[in-house]
Copies of this chain bind each other. A is one copy, B any other.
């Protein structure tokens, strides 16, 4: 599903260059649930953004389903992202002027193949994540963990084959976090979705098939948790 080779990311800052990623190689197979863990600042969000085609590496290639996305232009990337990738951002990136329902319905309205009825699908997803009575709230009228769950619902809107989640439970209590994990496991069981989760939550990481350990921009360990 995902093949990454020699991924480096250099971020110039004033006189310095920050080496956010220093040559990362990674293969993720279709239908796997992968955890990515590592210290704060180790490059997890940067790596996820590159895998998701939201950012380009300084060096290296990324292939999604065998297609090299590293040299694509913005239009091609936008199409791949809309059709194939659901992204849960570390700080949600919800549209502040839209309600929870409108935020989740938006990607469905943009999809080329409209498989779902936008508002109905948005309502179902938000209800399944515990927010049936917050549909008409805008992000500023929601708690931190409620915003996070709207961001999760939005990423699931088009039922993408690849789901990239950056700290999806950071603002959730144990029960809400367990409900999110259960929703992800159910999607994977039903649709074979490939799920990559960056997390500091050990409980969540322990449910992955494999956990990739990132330290200071390098992948230092690929830990298999479950027998194949």
Which residues of chain B come closer than 8 Å to A174, judged between CB atoms?
200, 202
> How many chain copies?
2
A44-B90 Cα distance, complex, nearest whole Å: 21
A132 interface residue per 8 A CB criterion:
no
Known: A13-B137, A136-B13, A137-B13. A173 touches B200 (CB 8 A): yes
Q: Which residue of B lies closest to A138 (CB)?
A: B13
Given known A-B contacts A13-B137, A136-B14, A171 and B143 have beta carbons under 8 A apart: no
**Among A25-33, A35-43, A79-87, A184-192, the stretch in contact with B:** A35-43
Residues in chain B near residue A170, CB distance under 8 A: 167, 170-171
Query: Please, what's the 1-or-0 string for A74-100, where 1 marks a CB less than 8 Å from any CB in chain B?
Result: 000000000000000011000000000
- Is the Cβ of B40 less than 8 Å from the Cβ of A176? yes
Task: Assess whether A45 is interfacial by the CB under 8 Å rule.
Answer: yes
**Chain A residues touching B, range:** 35 or more
Do A167 and B144 have beta carbons less than 8 Å apart?
yes
Closest 6 A-B residue pairs measured CB to CB? A40-B145, A170-B170, A41-B143, A40-B176, A90-B144, A173-B200
A contact residues vs B (CB 8 Å cutoff): 11, 13-14, 18, 37-41, 44-45, 90-91, 130, 134, 136-137, 141-146, 148-149, 167, 170-177, 200, 202
